């Protein structure tokens, strides 16, 4: 499971969070800290297996690359929906431009269903 970051630092993904190595104990257990600098969560591993977990994550961050991909996909979907609306209903040369649907009502342009009409 142990991998290297692009800076060459040992990095250990565990339960959706990444840890970087900061200390090797005398008994050869390795201590890791969450890569989130503000986070106090730590783990300890022996032979690549997590043997101990300390503290709690102060964040809901998962492995950054994975969540960024999801976010990007969501944004892309939203953008294409927006483009669809603009292309079909808003642009002057669209199939259904606002001149077709955005105009004052033809009959009874003033509303008559408000409270004041009852008196």
Please report, for residues 22, 36, 77, 112, the alpha-carbon distance to residue 32 in angstroms, rounded to integers and kept in the order given: 6, 12, 37, 70
Q: Is 30 exposed, middle or buried (0-12, 13-18, 19+ CB in 10 A)?
A: buried
Q: How far is the CB of 37 from Zn ion (least distance, A)?
A: 9
Catalog residues that contact Zn ion under the rule CB under 5 A: 34, 36, 39, 41, 57
Q: Which residues contact 77 (CB under 8 A, 6 or more apart)?
A: none
Q: Which is nearer to Zn ion, 31 or 91 (CB)?
A: 31
Considering the complex, state which of residue 57 and residue 97 has its C-beta at the smaller distance from Zn ion.
57
Closer residue to Zn ion (CB): 34 or 43: 34
**Minimum Å distance from CB 2 to Zn ion?**
18
Q: What minimum distance in Å lies between the beta carbon of 42 and Zn ion?
A: 9
């Amino acid at each position: 499971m142990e991998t290297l970051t692009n800076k060459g630092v040992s990095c250990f993904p565990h339960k959706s969070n990444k840890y970087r190595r900061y200390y090797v104990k005398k008994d050869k257990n390795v201590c890791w800290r969450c890569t989130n600098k503000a986070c106090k969560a730590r783990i300890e591993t022996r032979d690549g297996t997590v043997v101990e977990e300390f503290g709690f994550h102060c964040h809901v961050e998962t492995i950054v690359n994975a969540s960024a991909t999801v976010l990007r996909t969501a944004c892309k979907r939203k953008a294409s929906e927006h483009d669809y609306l603009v292309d079909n209903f808003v642009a002057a040369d669209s199939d259904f431009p606002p001149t077709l649907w955005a105009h004052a009502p033809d009959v009874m342009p003033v509303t008559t269903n408000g409270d004041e009409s009852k008196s």
